[in-house]
Structure 1
Amino acid sequence: MTTPAIAIVGGGPCGLTLARLLECKGIDYVVFERDESDTSNRVGGSLDIHGDTGQEALRQAGLIEEFKKYARYDDTAFVLTDKDGKRLLQMGEGRDAPEIDRVALRQILLDAIPKEKIRWGHALTSAMMGEDKRPVLRFANGTEASGFKLVVGADGAWSKIRSLITKATPQYSGKIFIESKIGHENPLYQTLSKSAGAGMLLSIGPKKLVVTQRQGDGHYRNYFGILAPEDFFRNGTVNLGDTEATRSMLLSDFYADWSTEHKDLIKHATDFRAWTLYTLAPEDMNWKSVPGVALAGDAAHLAITNGEGVNLAMTDSLNLATKIVQYGIEHVDQAVQEYEAEMFPRGVATIKMGHQMIGSMYGGDPKAFLDALMAEGAQEV
């Protein structure tokens, strides 16, 4: 079999957007994905896809109409409260940033890519430069792949492709989100659906927060944001698999002085899992281009969650694909150099935005967070 010109490591929205764009332009590629099949990865919440970035990438990929079938335009509302449940702001209705479940977005992209172009069950264990000074990929299933004109690392926060370009590694932010669920069968569901409604509700208190967001099937995903050591859920002290113990810990150690409404959310929450927040540093966005390698999305510019992640990742894919088409496969290294020159400022900006936004969210003053939103161009409705 002929080796494709481009290998994409990672089958999330970033890697699959790039794959679809290359497919549209007739450029040969292969996607290596660690999941065993397209039904393996069911983790992930709701994503807001912005008109001039994420949606533009889908438009160029010929998928915008398919996206609109699943996009939730009524879930753009945003409500801000304090820890006592007092509503301070409601905004966002009508914003061109509809929500879509990560799983649904991924499936739209998968359906638009030939099945033979995706190699499932290929978890990358290492990447190194071969004798031809091009990447050699080694996978957990014992296979190896090489000979590509370009390898694109779209393999997320802990990218193994990144090490071919830079020594930069993610740093712990000091903050953790504890994710949970309130499903339709939950005794609290009807009450929560009336109080939280569509979109997202953010509550801010001293050094902690609560986020509640409606998902595509109507259930609610909740995030309890706390300050904690990096190994808080790894040292055996807290077992998120013990639902009652986790509820008790949150109620006694973190949210004891919050409103009854917030405490009820904890008392009824299920399916706990930890989301530890990491980030690259702004100064990491300065590596020297390496022939045969490129990074996109979190692999390139991991930032603390700020609402831009998937949109910038899809923008990376669009810009990289555009440069590859412009210069052609024989000059793909020049395409990558120009892509990186445009990507670095975006990376620096989103990393700084993440620090600023999460700092104001954990600062305890909802008004400080509101000011940060307005500084980024948000408009009250």
Structure 2
Amino acid sequence: MPPPIAIIGGGPCGLTLARLLDCKGIDYLVHERDESEQSTHTGGSLDIHPETGQRALREAGLYDEFKKYARYDDTVFTVADKSGKKLLRIGQRRDAPEIDRRELRKILLHAIPREKIKWGHALKSATLGEDGRPVLHFTNGTTASGFKLVVGADGAWSKVRLLVSPETPHYTGRSYLESRITLENPHYPTLTAQAGAGTSMAISAHKIILTQRQGDSSYRTYFGLPVPEKYFQDKANIDLQDPQKTRDVLLSTHFADWAEVHKDLIRHATDFRAWPLYSLPEAEHLGWKSVSGVTLAGDAAHLAVPNGEGVNLAMKDSLELATKIAKCGVENIDQAVREYEEDMFPRGAKTIREGNVMAEIMFSEGPEPLVELMTSFGAGSE
């Protein structure tokens, strides 16, 4: 017999849920698309908040391990304009340390029994069987069924979502172009002297340059642009397979009038990767009619434009769902899901709304709206 719970997705959301269920003595199985733990991952640094991500790690008994990798000095956040003038610098006062996504995943993976994860299981589709319970169809040709609950923690393009909701993500009109500057890069000594710890953001003409230090001391730089959805797929616009041509387009078309300090980030950028920004539709009340044996968590439930809350709310979802299942018992798992969803829906709707507001502020004509917002939160310049 299969375990009562199947978790689709082995990211921070799914693995947090798995660890919490493990702590509560509830059986489960994680299905992850990667072939192994060593599979290459994209993704930068995450700030983990006290009442959401950190709380979940405490409940999972992993907070002390988390602290070994948490970077409290990288909570510094600087806002500048296109001339390079720094308008705001927030000090190291927030209890929201940074950790690389891969390190967080490693902590969670190592806390879960190996036999509880089925690698190489990318979900192709999910259907409802004759008994009304989900049947999972994987791209490797296998199927699985008989679970009391399937949790879709499979991200923005969740296949499980289709069992409970017809909503699909829409393009927000904005994209990031991610790049790297490693320690071996000739610009690295200059950049580390200029940027130092934490995150730096410059805004002008609805465009962004965001630079963030990583756990290995390298930097990721994100060039935010208001471009069509397929812009980076059309080589007539930009050819990401040709780094020099990509740099030339950025310098001549998008950031031609920015200061040299910003242009240097383009001239030395490597490893370009497009990141179009999607969101689920904004609604006053996110939600769907509860479906027996199915629920969603994290981006699968409430994908929003990045606003600093994504992974934190995903881990909170996992904590709340595990808590409800433990309280109601596996024999009453549908009741646990209904209670979880009742609490999750308004939380998800709020983060989608806040993500849209933050996108408007970040992709403004200039940095002043962001400075004003940060100042309203009590943040001051050092």
Please give the range of the TM-score, normalised by the shorter of the 2 chains: over 0.9
Q: Secondary structure at the match of 2:274?
A: strand
Q: Secondary structure at the match of 1:233?
A: helix
Give, in whole Å, the separation in 1 of the partners of 2:266 and 2:252. 11
Distance (Å, rounded) in 1 between the aligned partners of 2:97 and 2:206:
29
Distance in 2, matches of 1:173 and 1:275, equals: 12
Cα displacement (A) at 1:374: 4.6
Which residue does 1:245 correspond to in 2? 245
Alignment map for 1:229-240 (pairs within 5 Å): 229-237=228-236, 238-240=238-240
Q: Quick one: percent identity of the two aligned structures?
A: 61
What is the match of residue 275 of structure 1?
A: 275
Partner of residue 37, structure 1: 36
Amino acid at match of 1:225: G
Q: 1:347–1:232: structure 2 CA closer, same or farther, 3 Å change rule?
A: same
Is the Cα contact below 8 Å between 2:152 and 2:296 reproduced in 1?
yes
Residues 217-248 of structure 1: CA deviation (Å, up to 9, x unaligned)? 00000000001110112233222111001000
Q: CA RMSD in A?
A: 1.0
In structure 2, what is the equivalent of residue 299 of structure 1?
A: 300
The amino acid that maps onto 2:324 is K
Partner in structure 2 of residue 14 of structure 1:
13
- Residues 65-95 of structure 1 deviation map (CA, whole Å, 9 limit, x = unaligned): 0000000011000000001100000114121
Q: Judging changes above 3 Å, is the alpha-carbon distance between structure 1 residues 92 and 158 closer, same or farther for their aligned structure 2 residues?
A: farther
Unaligned runs of 5+ in 2: none
Counterpart for residue 340 of structure 2? 339
- What is the alpha-carbon distance in structure 1 between the residues aligned to residue 378 and residue 38 of structure 2? 36
Q: Which amino acid aligns with 1:240?
A: L
Q: Deviations over 1:146-180 (max 9, x none)?
A: 00000000000000000000000000000000000
Q: Offset at 1:285?
A: 1.1
Whether the 8 Å contact between 2:87 and 2:371 is mirrored in structure 1 is no
- The SS at the match of 1:213 is strand
- TM-score, normalised relative to structure 1: 0.98
Shift of 1:370: 2.1
Deviation, 1:378, is: 5.5
Residues in 2 aligned to 1:131 and 1:285: alpha-carbon distance in whole angstroms: 29
**Whole-Å separation in 2 of the counterparts to 1:251 and 1:330:** 60
| In structure 2, C-alpha distance between the alignment counterparts of 1:52 and 1:190, rounded to whole Å | 37
The equivalent of 1:50 in structure 2 is 49
Cα deviation 1:96-115 (Å, max 9, x = unaligned): 00000000000000000000
- The structural deviation recorded for 1:315 is 0.2
Deviations 1:39-65 (A, max 9, x none): 113211000001111000000000000
Q: Which residue of 2 aligns with 1:313?
A: 314
**Residues in 1 aligned to 2:245 and 2:194: alpha-carbon distance in whole angstroms:** 26
Report what 1:4 is aligned to. 3
Conserved? CA contact 1:357–1:372, under 8 Å: no
Please list, as runs of the form range in 1=range in 2, the aligned pairs for 1:122-141 lying within 5 A after superposition: 122-141=121-140
Q: Which residue of 2 aligns with 1:159?
A: 158
Deviation, 1:293, is: 0.3
The yes-or-no answer on 1:182 pairing with 2:181 is: yes
Which whole-Å CA distance do the structure 2 matches of 1:98 and 1:372 have between them? 21
